[in-house]
Amino acid sequence: MLVRQGFKYRLEPTGAQLEKLERTASICRYLWNSALALQRHRLERRGRILSYEDLASELRTAKHTEGLEFLKKAHSQAEQQKLMDLSDAFTDFFAGKKGFPRFKKKGCDDSFRQPQSVRVEGRHVFVPGIGLIRFRRSRDPLGTIKNATLSKRGKHWFISVQTEREVADPVHPSSSEIGIDMGVAKFAALSTGELVKPIDSFRRLEGQMRTAQRVLARKKKFSCNWKKQKAVISRLHVRIADARNDFLHKTSTAISVIRFHRLRRGHAVVYLEDLKVRNMSASARGSVQEPGRNVRSKSGLNKAILDQGWFEFRRQLTYKELWRGGRVVAVPPQHTSQTCAKCGHVSAENRRTQAQFVCVACGHEDDADVNAANNIMRAGQVLSVCGGGPPGPSAKQKPRAARKGRSRAAKAA
């Protein structure tokens, strides 16, 4: 099996190297914005957008144009990769996968990619156009380095190298299955009865963020003090993102790896709800003609949902299970919180409170999220074996009816 993995390190560039990094990122950002403006102009005139080859030809011409000689100061492959990214962005837009490409802003999109000739030499990494840069080698990169992306977060530069290596087809050492119910008050409830508390990284620093933004609002825009305060806010955002990412990696690894962290054993099959986070966190503000209802409470719920990082957790868990021979199964979330895991009775009255589940049919009592996790695991097992069906006893009857219908049709034929 071919494994592609990224290894991210913090760089420690010299003053001259830092200037080269900033200049290359600035030129690549300029190319993206200029090419995007050109493509938008052609679309507004109902013309054909330029392909990557056409953009690369325009770049070669621009390097010899008066006033644009600064384009020669960046490595040509980094510039070509940025134009290639824009071409891919338009391809995804026309395919309906992503929205229309946006302009890149200084301080938010400082990055570029080198597709080849990147190598690690001890505690230094060689990047074409920059030279040997010292970095913090926290672990050794495994496999062959294929490309590297250099990016700036806060006041530090990082390098992420993508590697490839061939490994034997993995077999997960465990054969157990588990269902996971995602939430806000509890980050995750496992069908085994274990509960994972959320870290709420944004909520912890929300007060500091609010104060820092108010201080920024009183500064003169683009003054020295304004830039210093802007850097303070940027560092807070980095702290929030790093804390959330660390929590998600530890939790996803604990579920997939044997005897790690708080969980005693990993699980080969993980059943998760197929949550549409974008729809769940959509704004309820509405319009002037049709204003929304409960906008303030919905805004707080949206903030809490986005603070959990459900999609990123599912992404991490998916590739970690794949590397170890396991798999993740997405389950439709309908009625998982209203169904009794013991008798299969479905009713909204089963969950009168947020935390406790009491079945009105059989009297079964359990933690509401643990009950939902058991329903998710049962629905996932049905989905894996029969190709679908809602949780509950009725899910076992539909496949038999379908088989009977197929046999009658076969006899009639």
181 tagged catalytic: yes
Measured CA to CA in angstroms, residue 285 lies from 295, 298, 301 at distances of: 6, 9, 13
Identified catalytic residue from 110, 273, 321, 366: 273
CA dist 313 and 337 (Å) reads 21
Is 273 among the residues known to form the active site? yes
Question: Mean pLDDT throughout 383-387?
Answer: 76
First to last CA, the chain: 44
Please report the pLDDT score of residue 393 as a whole number: 39
In the set 79, 181, 307, 366, the catalytic residue is 181
Nearest CA among 38, 32, 63 for reference residue 50: 38
State phi, psi for 50 to the nearest 5 degrees.
Answer: -80, 145
Q: Summarize pLDDT for 103-115 with one digit per residue, the tens.
A: 999 888 899 999 9
**Rounded alpha-carbon distances, angstroms, from residue 366 to 196, 324, 340, 347:** 16, 32, 9, 15
d(CA 228, CA 216): 9
- Flag whether pLDDT at 215 surpasses 80: yes
Q: Which of 7, 16, 25 is nearest to 132 (CA)?
A: 16
Q: Considering 79, 307, 366, 369, which one is annotated as catalytic?
A: 369
**Which whole number is the average pLDDT over 96-105?**
94
- Structure token digits, residue 217: 């609002």
Take residue 17 and report the two structure tokens written for it.
């190297």
Residue with tokens 């026309």: 94
DSSP codes of every residue in 232-301: HHHHHHHHHHHHHHHHHHHHHHHHHSTTBTTBSS--SEEEEE---HHHHT----B-SSSB-SSHHHHHHH
* pLDDT higher than threshold 70 for residue 401: no
The Cα 76–Cα 60 span in angstroms is: 10
Task: Tell me what pLDDT residue 173 has.
Answer: 76
Q: Where are the beta strands (DSSP E) in 89-206?
A: 111-114, 119-121, 124-127, 131-135, 144-153, 156-166, 177-182, 188-190, 195-196
Lateral strand order in the sheet of 269-273:
195-196, 188-190, 177-182, 269-273, 327-331
Cβ atoms of 85 and 15 closer than 8 Å: no
The structure's pTM equals 0.84
Give me the helices (H) in 106-223, please.
201-217
- Taking alpha carbons only, the member of 237, 215, 242, 178 closest to residue 8 is 242
- DSSP assigned state of 171: -
Average pLDDT of span 37-54: 94
Q: How far is CA 171 from the centre of its chain?
A: 26
| Residue range 109-147, pLDDT digits in tens | 899 999 999 999 999 999 999 999 999 999 999 999 999
Q: Which two tokens stand for residue 198?
A: 């959320």
**Percent residues over pLDDT 70 in the chain:** 92
